[in-house]
A and B are shown apart, each in its own frame.
Chain A
Amino acid sequence: MKRARMSLVQLIGTGLALITLTSATLAQAPAAAPVLAPEALKQPLAGDWTSYSGDYTGQRYSRLTQVTPANVKNLTLAWATRISTDLRGDVATGGEGKGDFPVGQAAMRGTVLEVNGILYATSPDHVWAIDGRDGRELWHFFWKSRGSLHIGNRGAAIWNNSLLFETPDNYLVSIDVRTGKENWHVEIADLDQQYFSTMAPIVVGDQVLVGTGNDLDAPGFLQSFDARTGKRNWIHYTVPMNPGDPGLDTWPSLDAARHGGGQVWVPGVYDPETNLYIFSTGNPTPGYTGISRKGDNLFTCTLMAVNMSTGKMAWYYQTSPHDTHDWDSAQTPVLIDGVIDGKPRKLVSTAARNGYFFTLDRVTGEHIVTAPFGKTINWSKGLRKTGQPEPDPEKSAIVPGSLVSPMEAGVTNWPPPAFNPDLGLFYVAESNSFNILYLTDPDPRGSMGLGGKRWSILGFESNALRAIDYRNGKAVWRREWPQGASMGGGLLTTATGLLFSGDGSGNFVALDAKNGDILWHTRIGSISNAPQTFEIDGRQHVLVGVGDMLYSFAIY
């Protein structure tokens, strides 16, 4: 095969050339306000939904007040749209593939952005602009894939007039947010090394942050690209890559560390005051056989802060030392300006997949709270002095089987939590499951990826929605779903004291954020992304996805 394979450097070069052309074109046009200036991303979540979590805090707390606990029962369908991957008609395309990779159904499994009444939805290889007033498609961009795992796409980012998104075959693509036509693309990870990309990029100033996934014993990293040119600013590896790197003493060898995982596949949060980007990393690899990676395996399953100017780590806190269950700590953390022991503190909280809730000082990384939020978790021998749960080796995969709670999916997963600052409550989906975990590959070299084990899923003890006091990790209220069997897709809370969630049984539910009382529901099917809210032409909409459907609700 003669197809030239462009290196990252070459691709960046191409991107630069292309952007030069675009800039020249733009320079002749009259200066108009951009669709979304980076400065606007600092606004607290209100009228528009401008980034993955709505704003930089990760709180998913909307200041819109039209929908209240008193009138939410009047919420009605504004529109419903089936998002189509059909390529007939006027579809803009890009991509390095031959166009022969099968096109699947759309899957709304991430954030839909909303700016000035226009929605921007994504699915692997696809982006759509949709009129938020009535759900009609404005443009459709399709990326011809080279292949890879098409597991999901968590959304796009907007920088001025560019929409940025990641593709499963590891490109960061910039398209014109007004037309859906491509500006440039750059390769962000190597497909041959089995990376795949799902993360919603995060724009901070003129930087765009991207992460990638990989299951085959490859190092994780966070990268910053120039949002204008696609040129890489910095790369921050999440595992030690060179002799002398911090954390290397938590691995048996450099070879083990360099194959140690810690992927960055869920967006983090940003604190403009400290210029720190705070995010959490995935599981160590090999996932289930820890024998070849004895030690804590830094910086896998870790909440960490990176300075945006340098790409250097400011602090870290490992929420799951030496994980052996594929329990990525890849959950979006939440910034909280709170009070601890009577003193105002700048905090960050996270509810990790392993079933423990943590609150830290977000400036220093100082540990403040650890508390279990999984009702049945049984894998830890207790907390270290540092507040980290100490794994019980008996609860790893063992040959005769180990009875472990939770199962691989965890007590919670990527569907985002929410935080209501008026009530001081952190909301998270809580899934209490059991499985028996068998080691099937006792090879002393360890297995690879997520291999070497087999499980038998026993079922759920319960599924619930939990409201946690961030100051001590205690449940203030907890609503158990009668037979729910999924995590509900993610959460949204509002300044009027509402909480929106799926119930795991196909219902979209509005609850009283104070006490978990159910106020409204509609059965539209299994909620696949977190509910969102924004205001269009003076009316508050509540948007949620179910597979390839988008539903928008409003009060008339």
Chain B
Amino acid sequence: MRVFLAALLAVLSLPIDAAQAPPAYPAQQRGPGDPVLAARGLTLYTSFCRACHGADMRGGDMGGPNLLRSQLVLGDKNGDAIGPVVRAGRVPAAGGTVMPPMPLPDDDVRALAEYMHSVVFTAQPQGAPPPSAAVALNLLVGNARAGERYFKAECASCHSTTGDLAGIGSRVPNIEQLQNNWVSGRRPAAAAPPGPPGPAVSAQTARSTVRVTVTLAGGEQVTGRLVRMDEFTVSLTTDAGDYRSFTRRGTPRVEAVRVDDPLAGHRALWTKLSNKTMHDVTAYLAGLK
């Protein structure tokens, strides 16, 4: 039922959104179709097709294949390919469930096809299926005690559960966001709302905490926040707010460049952290209310 409602909601909500969206990817080439005809098609689909092909057209328990990726459905024009199969039924070449014939009149076939195409139209980019209602998934599978032991051994030199991480489980109630934040080392937003996490912070933004010290010939040292660095140039902003930029192989000679990345420990962590330990620490942090 959940899936059925989701499909229904997706279909009902879609002509409005879709009309405004540019045809950015192949599923949208055909346009949303006629909503009145599609609505009639949904009624027919529910009666004749849903039991085998599923409420969301992605295949059903009774063995009907996924229609959203069916080459026959995708290539159909106004029922010209769907109609003959509906009327004649089908015996799959490689075995499987036999589709019985259903003698529907032309206008019903047309409505059915319109409905199917309207659902295909709601597909997401890169072939992903139409959106469905959020499924409650349990991400909290770790052992909090094991996570606490790991935290004390590996994290406590920089972080404190009574300091920077006090109440982190309440401040970041979304488990996925909490895990993404602590593994990456990105600071959580002041009050992250529940629900799906927001856009990922770019690597560039994450680097803004990196500090760099440039040592010039003669011993002068310039320190500040790293702006950018490649093999040829290193640029920084000093604590006084001055932009300084150096040619690494120029004059005065840059003798040394030292980078202090507070997230270096996190990067090192990625190479050794197991999924289990990651989930354990997440469970531990989630419990810090």
Contact at A192–B267, with CB atoms within 8 Å? no
User: Quick check: B230 and A148 within 8 Å, CB to CB?
Assistant: no
Pick from A146, A378, A450: contact of B126, CB below 8 A: A450
B229 & A461 in contact (Cβ 8 Å cutoff): no
Contact with A along B120-138 (1 / 0, CB 8 A): 0001111111001001011
Is there contact, CB below 8 Å, between B71 and A399?
A: no
* A236 to B: closest C-beta gap in Å: 18
- Interface bin, chain B: 35 or more
Do the beta carbons of A398 and B275 come within 8 Å of each other? yes
The proximity string for B residues 23-65 relative to A, scoring 1 for CB distances below 8 Å and 0 otherwise, is: 1111101100000000000000000000000100011000001
Q: Are A149 and B26 in contact (CB under 8 A)?
A: yes
For the complex with contacts A216-B74, A401-B139, A452-B129, 18 further pairs of A-B residues with Cβ separation under 8 Å are: A190-B75, A253-B94, A259-B69, A376-B271, A399-B139, A400-B279, A401-B176, A401-B275, A401-B278, A436-B179, A438-B176, A443-B58, A456-B180, A456-B197, A484-B230, A503-B230, A507-B232, A518-B231
Where the two chains meet, the residues of A that have a C-beta atom closer than 8 Å to any C-beta of B are: 5, 102, 146-149, 190-196, 214-218, 242-243, 253-255, 258-259, 285-286, 376, 378, 394-395, 398-403, 405, 434, 436, 438-443, 445, 447-452, 454, 456-461, 481-485, 503, 505-507, 509, 518, 521, 523
Q: Which residues of B contact A503 (CB under 8 A)?
A: 230-231
A436 to B179, alpha carbons, bound, how many Å?
9
**A403 B71 Cβ-Cβ under 8 A:** no
State whether B27 touches A255 (Cβ < 8 A): no
> Could you tell me if A457 and B126 are in contact, using CB atoms closer than 8 angstroms?
no
Q: Complex: how many Å from CA A405 to CA B135?
A: 27
Cβ-based interface call for B200 (8 A): yes
Given the interface pairs A401-B275, A505-B228, the reply to whether A194 lies near B206 with Cβ below 8 Å is no
By a CB distance below 8 angstroms, the chain A residues around B25 are 148-149, 194
With a cutoff of 8 Å between Cβ atoms, the chain A residues found around residue B68 in the complex are 448
Q: Which B residues from 108 to 156 make CB contacts under 8 A with A?
A: 123-129, 132, 135, 137-142
Are A483 and B207 interface neighbours, CB within 8 A? yes
Closest to B75 in A: A192
A218 to B123, CA, bound (A): 15
What residues of B have a CB within 8 angstroms of the CB of A452 in the complex?
128-129
With contact pairs A192-B29, A405-B270, A441-B135 given, residues A447 and B129 touching in the complex (Cβ less than 8 Å): yes
- Report B186-208 residues with CB < 8 Å from chain A CB: 196-197, 200, 203-204, 206-207
* Known interface pairs A192-B29, A400-B141; A448-B127 also in contact (CB < 8 Å): yes
Report the minimal beta-carbon distance from A554 to chain B, rounded to whole angstroms.
Answer: 22
With CB as the reference atom, state the residue of chain A lying closest to B70. Answer: A259
* Chain A residue contacts of B29, Cβ below 8 A: 146-148, 191-192
Residue of B nearest to A194 (CB): B26
Label chain A's interface by main secondary structure. loop
B137 surroundings in chain A (CB, below 8 A): 399, 439-440, 442
Cβ contacts under 8 Å, A259 to chain B: 66, 69
Cα A51 to Cα B278 with chains together (Å): 48
Is the CB of B96 closer than 8 A to any CB of chain A? yes
What is the bound-complex CA distance between A258 and B92, given in angstroms? Answer: 13
Set A149, A196, A482, A506: member contacting B229, Cβ < 8 A: A482
- Separation of A95 and B137 alpha carbons in the complex (Å): 47
CB distance from A410 to the nearest CB of B (A): 16
Among A258, A454, A482, residue most surrounded by chain B Cβ atoms (within 10 Å) = A482
A-B residue pairs in contact (CB < 8 Å), sample of 12: A215-B127, A218-B71, A376-B270, A398-B275, A436-B183, A449-B123, A449-B126, A451-B127, A454-B176, A458-B184, A461-B271, A507-B231
Contact A451 B93 (CB under 8 A): no
CA–CA, A148 and B30, complex, Å:
11
A-chain residues with CB within 8 Å of residue B229 when the two chains form the complex: 482-483
- Taking CB atoms, residues of chain A closer than 8 Å to B93 are 242-243, 254
Once the chains bind, are B183 and A449 in contact (CB under 8 Å)? no
Asked if A505 and B230 sit within 8 Å, CB to CB, the answer is yes
Q: How far is the CA of A399 from the CA of B142 in the complex (A)?
A: 12
B241 at the interface (CB under 8 A from A): no
Contact, CB under 8 Å: A459 / B138: no
Shortest CB-to-CB span from A286 to chain B, Å, is 8
Q: Is B219 an interface residue (CB 8 A)?
A: no
Against A, the Cβ 8 Å flags (1 = close, 0 = not) of B222-236 are 000000111110000
With A448-B68, A483-B207, A484-B230 as known contacts, state yes or no: A196 contacts B142, CB within 8 Å. no
> For the complex, what is the distance from the CA of A215 to the CA of B275, rounded to whole Å?
29
A216 in contact with B273 (CB, 8 Å): no
Task: Say whether B77 faces chain A, with CB atoms less than 8 Å apart.
Answer: yes
CA distance A85 to B25 in the complex (A): 21
Is the beta-carbon distance between B71 and A191 smaller than 8 angstroms? no
Q: Is B22 an interface residue (CB 8 A)?
A: yes
Question: From residue A111, how far is it (CB to closest CB) to chain B in Å?
Answer: 25
Contact of A243 among B30, B94, B138, B267 (CB under 8 A): B94
Closest residue of A by beta carbon distance from B131: A451
Shortest distance from the beta carbon of B188 to any chain A beta carbon, whole Å:
13
Q: Closest A-chain residue to B137, C-beta based?
A: A399
> Taking A194-B26, A441-B135, A481-B231 as contacts, is the C-beta distance between A450 and B278 under 8 angstroms?
no
Task: Please give the distance in Å from B220's CB to the nearest CB on chain A.
Answer: 21
Contact call A445/B139, Cβ cutoff below 8 A: no
Residues of B close to A399: CB separation below 8 A: 137-139, 141
